Amino acid sequence: MSTTQSAFRSEVSLAAQLLSRIQSRQAKVGVIGLGYVGLPLSLLFAGSGFDTTGFDVDPKKVDSLGRGESYIKHISPEAIQKVSGQKSFRATSDFSGLGEMDAIIICVPTPLDEYRQPDLSYVRSTAKAVAAELRAGQLIVLESTTYPGTTEEEVLPILEESGLHCPAVPYSTNNLAVDAEAAPSPDFFLAFSPEREDPGNPKFTTARIPKVVGAVNAQSAVTAQALYESAFERTELVSSSRAAEMTKLLENIYRCVNIAMVNEMKLLCERMGIDIWEVIKAASSKPFGFHPFYPGPGLGGHCIPIDPFYLTWKAREYEFPTRFIELAGEINSSMPFHVVKGVAEALDRRRKTLFGSRVLVLGVAYKKDVDDVRESPALRIMELLQEHGASVDYHDPHVPRLGKMRKYEFGLESVALTAETLRQYDCVLIATDHTACDYDLVVKESSLVADTRNATSQITHNREKIVRL
């Protein structure tokens, strides 16, 4: 037997050992980043019978979880206490324990910098932390949304600084077992599986959302798919990490482009004196060929406002202009300016100026009934209102305080939504249509209501106070 053959069989056994540990629920799973993606993922694996450790650099999150408390609205303390009581989940800020994990899943932020270029600093620093503890036979999966090529071009080289190697070798999803047997065997396994969380959506919990999996080689694909099959109802294997990375971008750019289209239609309908919401409702009656998208004050959340710019940045490497995608991004990014302009014009018609006016913003989360303010258009609107000389407060039943953020630092607390409070403002701006808000009261007691979400459509009284933007 040649040295190569001997090494091949020895390295193949690493995959067999990992598969055995996964299938028997003996594998230890580590999740780095305990935010809106990492925490529910950790709880899912812990609830599926895996010894799970969550890693985070924020000691406040670690302490909260240690007390059985939740800092994310749609995740109950009981869900945390259940797995903690079973001793299947723990949280820590000590990354030296990464070497004990059989599978490590990376769920860290991938924001844009001030020039709208990808900021992979969190991914790179996390990969370096993993490389420092990397051992043979471990599976590493990146879940952070990013451009095609990140797993192979950024994460893989950093991990291989450990001295271990994971050759990038093409494979076929139709002949995965054959390719896994024939390909050079890796020292560790590396894959990409895009997160698909929809916070606050009770119809699609983490386990019910199909998991797309792509890897840098066949053995990595086999082990990664086995890991996710053990906790998710369905997996969808693709032929590379690049294909998996592109899948997530396509999903979100599809939404971005269609939202941009309907936002542009809204602007045109305003000028033509047509109700865009009536038009959308009527078009939705068609049972085929039409899927409704709705206008708003801009895009929010960590994915849809950011993903298009990740792809347009990467496309420049291939000298490919993504004009359609860039235009959609420009339209959606302009919506907060349109809203502020509309508020100024509405005040002007009432012989008031935006400068010096008091404006109450209803809802600062990026979508209704969640507490997530990441990339929320309401924050940009508040900033623009302040730049124009307005005094700004906010009410959000799910966000009690707006502390220091990456881009903003308002230092505000949510005000109570009462008749007395509403009467104090020159304009009440509905930026997020939370179900808990009493819009009947808002219209009745406010002097002016600027509605960007059609939240007041069912209010029949005081319609003269309402301006839809």
Q: What is the pLDDT of residues 108-127, one digit of tens each?
A: 999 888 778 899 999 999 99
pLDDT at residue number 5: 36
pLDDT of 1 higher than 60: no
Query: CATH code at 22?
Result: 3.40.50.720
pLDDT of residue 87: 86
The answer as to whether 253 is a domain residue is: no
Residues 447 and 303 in one domain: yes
Lookup: tokens for 176? 């995965």
Give the number of domains in the chain: 2
Instruction: Indicate whether 11 pLDDT > 80.
Output: no
Structural domain includes residue 352: yes
Kindly state whether residue 227 falls inside one of the protein's structural domains.
Answer: yes
Question: Are 211 and 292 in the same domain?
Answer: no
Specify the pLDDT at position 305. Answer: 77
Range of the domain at 161: 3-239
Q: Is residue 271 part of a domain?
A: no
* pLDDT above 50 for 443: yes
* Cα 427 from Cα 422, distance rounded (Å): 9
**pLDDT 10s digits, 319-339:** 999 999 999 988 999 999 999
The question of whether 107 is a catalytic residue gets the answer no
Q: In the prediction, which pLDDT does 6 show?
A: 36
Choose the final residue of a domain: 239, 261, 287.
239
Tell me: do 218 and 366 sit in the same domain: no
Which pLDDT tens digit goes with each residue over 270-324? 999 999 999 999 999 999 999 999 999 998 877 777 888 889 999 999 999 999 9
Averaged pLDDT for residues 155-182: 94
Query: If pLDDT is split at 50, 70 and 90, which confidence band does 52 have?
Result: very high
| 413 and 464 co-located in one domain | yes
* Average pLDDT score, the chain: 93
The pLDDT, as a whole number, for residue 114 is 78
Residue pLDDT, tens place only, 356-409: 999 999 999 999 999 999 889 999 999 999 999 999 999 999 999 998 888 899
SS (H, E, C) 343-402: HHHHHHHCCCCCCCCEEEEECCCCCCCCCCCCCCHHHHHHHHHHHCCCEEEEECCCCCEE
Residues for the chain: how many in total? 469
Strand order in the sheet with 28-32: 89-92, 51-55, 28-32, 103-106, 139-142, 189-192, 211-215, 235-237
* CA–CA dist 114, 86 (Å, integer): 44
Residues 127 and 20 occupy one common structural domain:
yes
206 and 351 assigned to the same domain: no
Domain identity same for 200 and 68: yes
CA separation for the pair 367, 437 (Å, rounded) = 14
Inside any domain, residue 103: yes
Greatest extent of the chain over all pairs of C-alpha atoms, in Å: 91
The residue behind tokens 């007041």 is 456
* 288 and 379 assigned to the same domain: yes
Which residue in 256, 303, 427, 437 is the catalytic one? 303
pTM: 0.89
Q: Do 293 and 185 belong to one domain?
A: no
Q: Clarify whether residues 286 and 423 are in a common domain.
A: yes
In a domain, 139, yes or no: yes
Q: What's the pLDDT at 296?
A: 94
Statement to judge: residues 292 and 200 lie in one domain: no
- 229 plus 296 within the same structural domain: no
Residue, of 165 and 307, whose pLDDT is higher: 165
Domain annotation covers residue 297: yes
Question: Residue 85 is encoded by which pair of tokens?
Answer: 């009581």
pLDDT at 338: 96
265 lies in some domain: no
Task: Give dist(CA 368, CA 360) in Å, integer.
Answer: 17
* pLDDT tens sequence across 56-91: 999 999 999 999 999 998 899 999 999 987 889 999
> Could you tell me the pLDDT band of residue 198, with boundaries at 50, 70 and 90?
confident
pLDDT of 420 reads: 96
